[in-house]
């Protein structure tokens, strides 16, 4: 599948743009949810086999591996996979569509807006079907996504962040342009790196986010042979979702 979103410029700055994101903390929350749903089928199993689909630069894959999972990373962007491999963790990172993978996993994750990076709605069913075919009875699929109703109620705004990194001061501005009719948000980044107070580098990568409502996602899952067993607001598995929760986690099993 062609993917222009996560190519050269964006992937180069990806980890920098997301510096400060608590990948380990997120992985611990997801792990607690996985343990809750897998306890019957996999009790006694030491190491669960996990696929991180849309693994990007591998940060969740690495976090889950540290927690004892046999973790594999897949992504369609060779640039993102190149960066994941460059972290020299010895983990298996493959530049491959999950459609071309044929092996069962205990756990499949797709975290940090992968579902919003797939393109228009018609691509959701194909993606979820490729996940379903690599699940067996008792497998679990966890992903997150922007919540369409929250985007309508509280449209994305310009966000700025300053980061100190390797002796540089980085200013990062994210400028959203949202097309509510087509449910698409283009996020343009303005990244400026200063060394000794002088501008040393500037880049303007952008990504396209397709956002969907809860019902649209649930319908696509249903059409792919999956069912939602739990939905919770980002990092809060003990809570129920609401219309204004910006990000939702879906926990799914085979139907």
Ligand X SMILES: C[S@@+](CC[C@H](N)C(=O)[O-])C[C@H]1O[C@@H](n2cnc3c(N)ncnc32)[C@H](O)[C@@H]1O
List interacting residues with ligand X (CB under 6 A). 1, 3, 6, 53-56, 59-60, 75-77, 80, 97-98, 111-114, 117-118, 127
- Cα dihedral 247, 10, 220, 52 in deg (nearest 10): -80
Residue pair 148/213 in contact (Cβ under 8 Å)? The answer is yes
Cβ distance to ligand X smaller for residue 126 or 138: 126
Q: For ligand X, which is the closer residue by CB, 208 or 254? A: 208
As measured in angstroms, the least distance from the Cβ of 225 to ligand X is 18
Cα 54 to Cα 43, 122, 196, 200, distances in angstroms: 28, 18, 37, 31
Q: Which is nearer to ligand X, 139 or 210 (CB)?
A: 210
Cα 75 off chain centre by: 11
What is the rounded distance in angstroms from the CA atom of residue 14 to the CA atom of residue 104? 30
- Least distance from C-beta 183 to ligand X, angstroms? 17
Nearer Cβ to ligand X, position 4 or 195? Answer: 4
Closest approach, Cβ 120 to ligand X, in A, equals 12
The tokens for 4 are: 């222009």
Name the residue nearer to ligand X (CB basis): 114 or 251: 114
Are 34 and 94 a contacting pair, CB within 8 Å?
no
Q: How far is the CB of 63 from ligand X (least distance, A)?
A: 10
Residue of this chain nearest to ligand X (CB atom): 56
Residue 243 phi, psi dihedral angles, 5° rounding: -60, -30
Q: How far is the CB of 184 from ligand X (least distance, A)?
A: 15
């Amino acid at each position: 599948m062609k993917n222009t979103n996560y190519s050269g410029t964006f992937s180069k700055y990806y980890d920098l743009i997301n510096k400060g994101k608590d990948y380990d903390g997120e992985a611990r929350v997801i792990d607690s949810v996985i343990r809750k749903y897998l306890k019957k089928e996999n009790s006694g199993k030491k190491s669960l086999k996990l696929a991180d689909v849309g693994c990007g630069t591998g940060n969740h894959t690495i976090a889950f591996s540290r927690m004892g999972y046999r973790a594999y990373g897949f992504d369609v962007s060779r640039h993102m996979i190149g960066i994941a491999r460059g972290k020299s963790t010895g983990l298996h990172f493959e530049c491959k569509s999950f459609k071309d993978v044929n092996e069962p996993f205990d756990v499949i994750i797709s975290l940090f807006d992968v579902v919003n990076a797939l393109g228009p709605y018609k691509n959701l069913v194909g993606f979820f079907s490729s996940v379903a075919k690599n699940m067996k009875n008792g497998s679990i699929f966890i992903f997150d996504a922007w919540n369409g109703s929250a985007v309508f109620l509280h449209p994305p705004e310009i966000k700025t962040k300053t980061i100190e990194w390797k002796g540089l001061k980085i200013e990062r501005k994210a400028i959203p342009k949202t097309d509510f009719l087509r449910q698409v948000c283009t996020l343009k980044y303005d990244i400026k790196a200063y060394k000794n107070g002088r501008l040393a580098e500037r880049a303007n990568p952008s990504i396209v986010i397709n956002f969907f409502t809860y019902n649209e996602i649930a319908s696509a899952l249903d059409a792919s042979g999956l069912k939602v067993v739990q939905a919770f607001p980002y990092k809060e598995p003990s809570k129920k979702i609401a219309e204004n929760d910006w990000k939702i986690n879906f926990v799914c099993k085979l139907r």
